[in-house]
């Protein structure tokens, strides 16, 4: 995984067109969110189906663009309303990306009454 320590982490509410690349996503940050995509931060975008996320990160000499696609399940994602972005802590960020694995693991570990191993 990548290092997020010491960086602001912003979850971008609502859905984003995942065909957008670095330039399109950084213009969303600059124009719609009225903050700079060149700050030491990570911006997390999600598609309408909530099964893909892209993370845009500036590392002082270029942009990184990470992408994750779930084969099953969805990311818990807020709809866009008055709030356009949410600041996440490092732990919340890790939980967001690992949440589907945790839900799947809990579902597999469920005990069904009446069945013996």
SS3 letters across 36-54: CCCCCEEEEEECCCCCEEE
- pTM for the structure as a whole: 0.78
**93: pLDDT confidence band, cut at 50, 70 and 90?**
confident
At residue 109, the pLDDT reads 44
Q: Give yes or no for residue 110 having a pLDDT over 50.
A: no
Mean pLDDT over each residue of the chain, to the nearest integer: 80
User: Residue 68's beta-bridge partner residues?
Assistant: 53
% of the chain exceeding 70 in pLDDT: 79
% of the chain exceeding 90 in pLDDT: 35
């Amino acid at each position: 995984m990548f290092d997020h320590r010491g960086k602001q982490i912003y979850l971008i509410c609502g859905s984003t067109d995942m065909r957008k690349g670095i330039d399109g996503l950084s213009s969303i940050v600059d124009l719609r969110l009225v903050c700079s995509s060149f700050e030491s931060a990570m911006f997390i975008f999600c598609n309408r189906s909530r099964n893909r996320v892209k993370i845009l990160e500036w590392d002082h000499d270029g942009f990184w663009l990470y992408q994750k696609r779930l084969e099953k399940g969805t990311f818990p994602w807020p709809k866009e309303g008055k709030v356009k972005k949410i600041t996440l802590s490092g732990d919340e960020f890790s939980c967001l990306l690992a949440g589907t694995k945790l839900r799947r693991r809990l579902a597999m570990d469920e005990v069904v009454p009446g069945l013996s191993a």
